[in-house]
Amino acid sequence: MSPQAGWILHDQIVPRLRASIPRNVNFIGSEDAEELIQDATVMAAKLLDRTEQQGKTVTAGNIAYYTILHMKSGRRSCGSSNSDALGTGTQLNGRSSINSLEETVAEDESGNEIFQVHDVLSIDHEDPAVKAARRLDWDEFLCSLTDREQLLVECMMDGQNHTQAAKSIGISTWTVRQCKMGLALKVLEFMGPDILATIAKLPGWKNNLHAQRELLACKHDRRH
């Protein structure tokens, strides 16, 4: 883009976009006026550069007009898909819609407890596929243990203490302690050092929800 085109973009096109977009372009999802103005500036720069390379003469009003038409139809500088469920064009055409996970779906009779969408969908259990894969790993791990270690694992799963486990297996409590330490090392070696963190990790969609809340909170702070 030539310096003259850059001057036209900065001094003549961007002011037109800034004045028109907040009033004429629908915001989709979390979009706001500043984001759309930045997006439209990128699109206007591409249009201006393309017409300059083709040797065509256009006015700042032409570039601003067609840029705003693109924005109103759902086009954005990053794409204009009408098949993507999250695309702005798809939502403007009514082919898809996005609902917040924090929308209220029900509340109790007293009104003290409100149930939101994420409460209905929330599940703190692991995905069944993850459970099945871990069960396969656990079965393979048990096969690698000695008979005494397998008996100790069964005693631990039954909730027996050291004395009870020693009596069940027929060994001393000191030997039970030593075997448990050995089992712990074998679990870490077989499953990996991050096994406890993996088990305690929240579902990925909850992380996305927390990130979205932080994003909206940052936008609110910037506006106020």
**CATH code of 175's domain:** 1.10.10
Task: Give 102's contacts (C-beta < 8 A, 6+ positions apart).
Answer: 116, 117, 118
User: Do 16 and 83 fall within a single domain?
Assistant: yes
Same domain, 16 and 57: yes
Report yes or no on 98 lying in a domain: no
Range of the domain at 118: 104-124+202-223
Give me the pLDDT at residue 203, please.
63
| pLDDT tens digits for range 52-103 | 888 888 888 999 999 999 888 888 877 767 777 677 777 777 766 777 777 7
User: How does pLDDT run across 199-221, given as a tens digit for each residue?
Assistant: 766 666 666 667 777 777 787 77
Helices (H) and strands (E) in the chain, counts: 12, 2
Are the C-beta atoms of residues 9 and 41 closer than 8 Å to each other?
A: yes
Cα gap 147→202, rounded to integer Å = 35
Eight-class DSSP state of 202: P
Q: What mean pLDDT do residues 145-170 have?
A: 88
Average pLDDT, the chain: 81
3-54 tens-digit pLDDT? 888 888 889 999 999 999 988 888 877 778 888 899 899 999 999 889 888 8
| Cα distance between residue 163 and residue 34, in whole Å | 69
The answer on 43 and 146 residing in a single domain is no
Task: Count structural domains, the chain.
Answer: 3
